[in-house]
Structure 1
Amino acid sequence: MREDLESMRRGSRRWKEARVASVERMWGPRSVVVEDGPARGMRQIELRHLGGLAVDLEVDQFLDLGDASFRGVPLSFVAPTTSPRAESWSRRWRGGLMTTCGLAAVGRAEQHIGGMHGRAHLIPASVTRSEGRWDGDDYVVEVRGLMREGALFDQNVSVARTIRASVGASALQITDEVRNEGFERTPLRLLYHFNVGWPWLEEGAVVETEAQEPGQDEGSGNWERTVEAPKAGEPETVDALIAVPDADGWASARIQGSNRSITVRFRPEQLPYLTVWRSKAAGSYVVGLEPGTCWPGHVDGPDFGKAGVVLAPGESRTVNLEFEVQAD
């Protein structure tokens, strides 16, 4: 007996399966290897059809979020990279939608603790899961990876990362489980460096957040919110803010354009600080939204804001983030 197609509920799993012969090929994650250019040989996992959102996961760079677009329009900042293994941060950083900074250093730092923004972005992931599956009527894509920063007679910190998205929803959820697998107390400095570039970043866009400057009332302060046009030789600016939770315990930072927005959500109980980084320099035009356990080491602010946290032997901490794109 044949199934009655007319009785299927629109949008249900069976309704979709009647129209797509191979859901894993259409919607599932796809593993690729870059064959040319500075990133030659690097592993990536492509996520597509997420409500118009497309993201490359950088497997060899801490399973970070690389190039991203929405409805074919680039979202992320693309840096002029010499090589992902170049000697300095400015020559090896490839940009991308999100870069993990840490785990021992954030901002300018001595080489023995990782140098500028630490070693995390140099650490390859071991992919433990990369799959698409049905969750009721929704098709969910999930990628998991395990990263470790460690050295003989030194720290041993692991990060188990899960990136989850639903097909048709222009959003990602990121969950990190950070664990001190060593036997001594270990400092943890962790910052999530979200990077928005042109053409999504536009003159007149506004950075919106309830985060506040130290010593200021909520929503007050003199930090710059409006995005200006690029200028040759313009220096970068950085604002150090304290995150303010809403009634549900979440904080957010948003870049709001004329008819579109990018929002990063996080929990201040996990990431108490927000850094807003702006480069108006021509050729390096980018705004960064950066929740973290601390501010970058070169940012002015109270000393306690730079310290991060300390993990006891065997201690674990969970970090939850959400990223969403909206457009008319």
Structure 2
Amino acid sequence: GGLLTTCGLMQAGGSCVYKGRKHGTHGDVSNTPAINAGAFQHWEGELLKMGVQGTVRNGLLYRENLEMHRTITSKLGENTLHIHDQIENNGFERQPLMTLYHMNFGFPLVDRDTVLLVDAISQKPSAQTPEDAVVDCCKMGDPEPGAGGLVFFHDLKPDASGLVRAELYNPKLGWGIFIEWNKQALWNFAEWKNLSCGDYVVGLEPCNNYILGIAGEEENGTLEYIEPGETRTFDVTFGIIEKPTIQ
């Protein structure tokens, strides 16, 4: 819960059965205690760099042996956080790899005038979301009883360095947040918009899947794998903005 829920490492989406084994909603990684966790700080010139780090293991006897090494850093006086993840396959068989960064934002940032700003090549709703809802996918609104959640997928245009960016901005408050990441590693961007009374939240979700669950993702032909001995790197940066940079 909280600002960020990490989904994975083999499962993102609703619970499902894959090869005779049940996988719970959004996988195990966010419910697994970290080991070798700690905090650090050091000076880089005149800037104080601070961070926390730890390792989470997804492993079972005779099955997968995956580890995620996470470092979260910031610098004194800056308004950004950087997440650096390295996922290793320490086993001897290739394994499915689904990862999703579920960042959740609510009131007062999310309000009737709040907008999602992206440079999108295309936008489409999930299979459970009405087709015509995509017209207003980047606009928020007032809370509605029983509104339920809508999911949209944005294919974002990368800059010259391969980075993509999304901004959630409230013009009435005069501030918002940004998220930035490498599209090659996290090629999809999901938006979960739930304007229900009592929930009223927007989830911004860089990911490498369509959130179909491991079984659905394989059937869809979009399930990624990590080979034995392979390490995959994911970097996500987010922070506060006073003015939008995307029109």
**TM-score normalised by L of structure 1:** 0.65
Q: 1:250 aligns with which of 137, 158, 163?
A: 163
Aligned-pair distance for 1:109?
2.6
The 2-side partners of 1:192 and 1:260 are apart by 22
Higher relative contact order (CA 8 A, sep 6+): 2
Q: In structure 1, which of residues 281, 293, 297 is the aligned counterpart of residue 208 of structure 2?
A: 293
Aligned CA RMSD, in angstroms, stands at: 2.1
Asked if the contact 1:296/1:306 (under 8 Å) is kept, the reply is no
AA in 1 matched with 2:212: G
Q: Which of 108, 114, 118 lines up with 2:14 in the alignment?
A: 108
2:198 paired residue number: 283
Higher Cα Rg, which structure = 1
Q: Equivalent residues in 2 for 1:96-175 (5 A)?
A: 96-110=2-16, 112-175=21-84
Distance of aligned partners of 1:157 and 1:178 in 2 relative to their CA distance in 1, 3 Å threshold: same
SS state of the match for residue 246, structure 1?
coil
Task: Provide the rounded CA distance (Å) in 1 between the counterparts of 2:60 and 2:155.
Answer: 33
Against the structure 1 CA distance between its residues 156 and 223, is the aligned structure 2 distance closer, same or farther, given a 3 Å change threshold?
farther
Q: CA deviation at 1:326?
A: 2.1
Superposition pairs of residues 166-315 of structure 1, within 5 angstroms: 166-213=75-122, 222=135, 224-258=137-171, 259-297=174-212, 307-315=222-230
1:317 partnered with 2:232: yes
Instruction: For residue 183 of structure 1, give the secondary structure of its aligned residue in structure 2.
Output: coil
* Contact 1:182–1:313 under 8 Å retained in 2: yes
Q: Alpha-carbon deviation of 1:304?
A: 8.1
Corresponding position of 1:92: none
Shift of 1:213: 3.1
Question: CA offset at residue 113 of structure 1?
Answer: 4.6
Q: Give, as a single letter, the amino acid of the residue that structure 1 aligns with 2:151.
A: V
Residue type matched to 2:100 in 1? L
Q: Aligned equivalents of 1:265 and 1:304: distance in 2?
A: 29
Amino acid corresponding to residue 179 of structure 1 in structure 2: E
**How far off its partner does 1:242 sit?**
2.1
Where do 5+ consecutive residues of structure 2 fail to align?
A: 125-133
How far does the alpha carbon of each residue in 1:11-64 deviate from its partner, in whole angstroms, 9 at most, with x for none? Answer: xxxxxxxxxxxxxxxxxxxxxxxxxxxxxxxxxxxxxxxxxxxxxxxxxxxxxx
**Residue 58 of structure 1 aligns with which residue?**
none
User: Is the CA contact 1:295–1:306 (under 8 Å) kept in the aligned structure 2?
Assistant: no
The alpha carbon displacement at 1:305 in A equals 6.7
Q: Distance in 2 between matches of 1:306 and 1:197?
A: 34
Greater fraction strand: 2
Task: Tell whether the 8 Å contact from 1:109 to 1:297 is kept in structure 2 after alignment.
Answer: no
Structure 2 residue matching 1:213: 3-state secondary structure: strand
Identity of aligned residues (%): 31
Q: Which amino acid aligns with 1:234?
A: A
CA distance in 1, matches of 2:84, 2:219: 25
Q: Deviations over 1:207-226 (max 9, x none)?
A: 011134369xxxxx735111
Could you say if the C-alpha distance between residues 109 and 302 of structure 1 is closer, same or farther in structure 2, counting changes exceeding 3 Å?
closer
SS in 1 for 2:135: coil
Partners of 2:34 and 2:218 in 1: how far apart? 32
Distance 1:247 1:145, change over 3 A: same
Give the secondary-structure state (helix, strand or coil) at the position aligned to 2:30.
helix
Q: Is contact 2:115–2:140 with CA below 8 Å preserved after alignment?
A: yes
- What is the CA-CA distance between 1:302 and the residue it aligns to? 9.3
